[in-house]
Amino acid sequence: MFSFLKNSTLSRSELNYESGKFKYIHYGDILTKFGDITDTRNFSVPFVTTPEKVIRLEKNFLQNGDVVIADTAEDSMVGKVTEIQNPDPFPTVSGLHTIPIRPNKEFAAGFLGHYMNAPFYHDQLFKLMQGVKVLSLSKSAVIQTKINSPSYCEQRLISRMINLIDGTITLHEEKKHQLERLKSALLQKMFADKSGYPDIRFEGFSDEWEQCKLGDVCEPITDSIDTQKYPNEVFAEYSMPAFDASMKPDIVLGSSMNSVRKIITRPCLLVNKLNVRKKRIWYVKKPNKNAVCSAEFIPLHSDTVDLTFLNQVAKSETFTRYLENHSSGSSNSQKRITPRSLMLSKLHIPTIEEQKLIGKIFESLDRTITLHDQKLNLLKLVKQSLLQKMFI
């Protein structure tokens, strides 16, 4: 079914993204960056900085339709493949920790890349993986796998359909990244620096922003409840796992929560105490009925500042660096910010009218980014379903 090619052993330090005569397929890029198909003309495929080290592999330069398998990873991603397309402008070699293969019969362009990443084929590889902390594959394991292929015409139709989905996914990913870059730029320009003035402002606003402490404009919510006393009552729990999973509260019984919770009855901003670099800032605009939050968060309420605006301030790099510098703990992953240190943080605040305008801009951006994210997740589910049902 396949012939094995030789691979290079260059390290990442011997690659660049600017210029060169040869290109290089790095196993880390297969695992994290490349899709089922890799067009080697793409800027994401690095050049070789030391060409003299790959010239000897001339007979093993990759061709259209060759497949490169990542043979090492720390999880079940090992065995992920990418099919090579358009290697002509720059002769391309396969790198360290990869198994490059060449099919001995003709397949439709893209078919093998999709097929070998589909569950049916990858499950075959998974049973043949070796290792505990680091999983690996051998050529002998690849030889034991089976590939079932339809007619060439059907292969082409399958590849075209999945390519169309991949193209749509790429389009939404790029739109999302553009919006994220725009938001990042606006966060730097629309918020005041030490001078008290932002670089970009809405027309009609020119006053200096007022410097204050967070505790001057916010107060922590302190009302609490022991949910164990209400074991059969239903609560909406705002917790760190819920934030990470969907940013929607978990609906749970009181008996499931083993410690005291803070009661949330009004709009608030939840600031995560642990590992602040991850920016787990949760703006609860309309709390659910019987809402509570876990001790992982410091809940803040304000009658004087717009929480939509403050939500963006709390996610800024300046604010995050302050939280990092004032966190304490035995290791970086376990460092925490205390409520006292949080309330002492300094920030610049404009008038409430300007706050609301800035808040609306970023709220709209966040909503659009979330929309693209939802579309991406749906498209990926559609593709995953097709890969499960169209290959045997």
Cα gap 284→297, rounded to integer Å: 12
- pLDDT for 333 equals 65
The residue assigned the tokens 């007619």 is 151
Cα gap 140→368, rounded to integer Å: 48
The pLDDT tens digits for 20-79 are 999 999 999 999 999 999 999 998 999 999 999 998 898 999 999 999 999 998 888 899
Q: Are residues 118 and 27 in the same domain?
A: yes
Q: Are residues 194 and 110 in the same domain?
A: no
Runs of H (alpha helix) within 137-254: 139-143, 152-189, 214-217, 240-245
Q: Are residues 54 and 183 in the same domain?
A: no
Paired sense of beta strands 268-272 and 219-220, if any: unpaired
Q: Are residues 6 and 131 in the same domain?
A: yes
Tell me which of 148, 163, 195 is where a domain ends.
148
CATH number, domain containing residue 43:
3.90.220.20
- pLDDT for 1 equals 80
Q: Are residues 56 and 20 in the same domain?
A: yes
3-state secondary structure 224-245: EECHHHCCCCEEEEECHHHHHH
Q: Are residues 65 and 138 in the same domain?
A: yes
Cα gap 113→136, rounded to integer Å: 20
Cα gap 286→305, rounded to integer Å: 17
Give the end-to-end CA distance of the chain in Å, rounded to a whole number.
17
Q: By C-alpha distance, which of 51, 8, 359 is closest to 187?
A: 359
Is residue 239 a contact partner of residue 294, using CB atoms and an 8 Å limit? yes
Q: By C-alpha distance, which of 35, 289, 40 is closest to 168?
A: 35
Encoding tokens for residue 40? 């080697």
Q: Are residues 356 and 335 in the same domain?
A: no
CATH number, domain containing residue 180:
1.10.287.1120
Paired sense of beta strands 15-16 and 47-48, if any: antiparallel
- pLDDT for 356 equals 95
Tell me which of 105, 126, 148 is where a domain ends.
148
- pLDDT for 129 equals 84
- Say whether 121 sits in a helix, a strand or coil: helix
- pLDDT for 193 equals 85
- pLDDT for 94 equals 95
- Say whether 339 sits in a helix, a strand or coil: helix
Cα gap 341→345, rounded to integer Å: 7
Q: Are residues 165 and 235 in the same domain?
A: no
Dihedral angle sign, alpha carbons of residues 24, 26, 32, 36:
positive
- pLDDT for 332 equals 65
Q: Say how far residue 203 (Cα) sits from the centre of its chain.
A: 36
- The number of folded domains in the chain is 3
Could you tell me which residues come within 8 angstroms of residue 56 by beta carbon, excluding any fewer than 6 positions away? none
Q: Are residues 83 and 52 in the same domain?
A: yes
Q: By C-alpha distance, which of 87, 85, 91 is closest to 65?
A: 85
Cα gap 150→159, rounded to integer Å: 12
Residue ranges, the chain, pLDDT below 70: 332-333
Q: Are residues 44 and 99 in the same domain?
A: yes
Q: Are residues 11 and 144 in the same domain?
A: yes
What residues make up the domain containing 42?
A: 2-148
- Secondary structure percentages of the chain, helix, strand, coil, to 5: 40, 20, 40
Q: Are residues 105 and 171 in the same domain?
A: no
Residue 224 has a CB neighbour count (10 Å cut-off) of: 14
